[in-house]
């Protein structure tokens, strides 16, 4: 599995279906956790931008996603693992990882619920529509 994550490996490339925007932060990840500071600069880059909350989506729920969620939590980030935007080899592994995160390391929420919370929190208090 580690060979797959190395540059040029089948698990290293960014998937074409995920649209990146010019302002998106992109860092190379060469280990299971995106928050392993010795091998990935993501937590440093996020902290420099004053970002304190991370939404985690990807594969495998019980390997890279869970490792990233745990490490992010330990480093003081608020963690939301998107239950329907992660995947594992089977339902047992997926649910076990979701359970571990929910018990100790962050929130587990569906994507639609998370988007609704984000939209509600960005709406002005006076009920006027939020600017996008």
Q: Inform me whether the pLDDT recorded for 132 exceeds 70.
A: no
Tell whether 30 is covered by a domain: yes
Domain contains 132:
no
Is 35 contained in some domain?
Answer: yes
Where b means 16+ CB within 10 Å and e means fewer, 39-59 reads ebebbeebeeeeeeebbbbbb
Q: Do residues 32 and 40 touch, judged by C-beta distance below 8 A?
A: no
The separation between CA 19 and the C-alpha centre of its own chain, rounded to angstroms, equals 16
Does residue 130 sit within a domain?
no
CA 54 to chain CA centroid, nearest Å: 6
End-to-end CA distance of the chain: 40
pLDDT tens-digit series, residues 52-110:
999 999 989 999 999 999 999 999 999 999 999 999 999 999 999 999 999 999 999 99
- Number of compact structural domains in the chain: 1
Query: What CATH number has the domain bearing residue 112?
Result: 3.40.50.850
The answer to whether 104 and 77 are in contact (CB under 8 A) is no
Question: What is the pTM for the complete model shown?
Answer: 0.82
Phi and psi at residue 24, in whole multiples of 5°? -65, 135
**Which of the two residues, 85 and 8, has the higher pLDDT score?**
85
Q: Which domain holds residue 110?
A: 2-122
């Amino acid at each position: 599995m580690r060979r797959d994550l190395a540059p040029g490996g089948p698990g290293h490339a960014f998937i074409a279906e995920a649209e990146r925007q010019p302002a998106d932060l992109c860092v190379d990840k060469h280990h299971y956790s995106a928050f392993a500071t010795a091998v990935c600069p993501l937590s440093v880059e996020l902290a420099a931008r004053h970002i304190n909350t991370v939404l985690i989506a990807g594969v495998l729920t019980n390997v890279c996603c869970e490792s990233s969620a745990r490490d992010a939590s330990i480093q003081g980030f608020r963690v939301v693992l998107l239950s329907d935007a992660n995947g594992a080899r089977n339902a047992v592994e997926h649910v076990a990882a979701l359970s571990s995160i929910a018990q100790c390391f962050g929130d587990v929420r569906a994507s639609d619920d998370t988007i609704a919370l984000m939209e509600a929190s960005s709406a002005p208090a006076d009920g006027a529509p939020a600017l996008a």
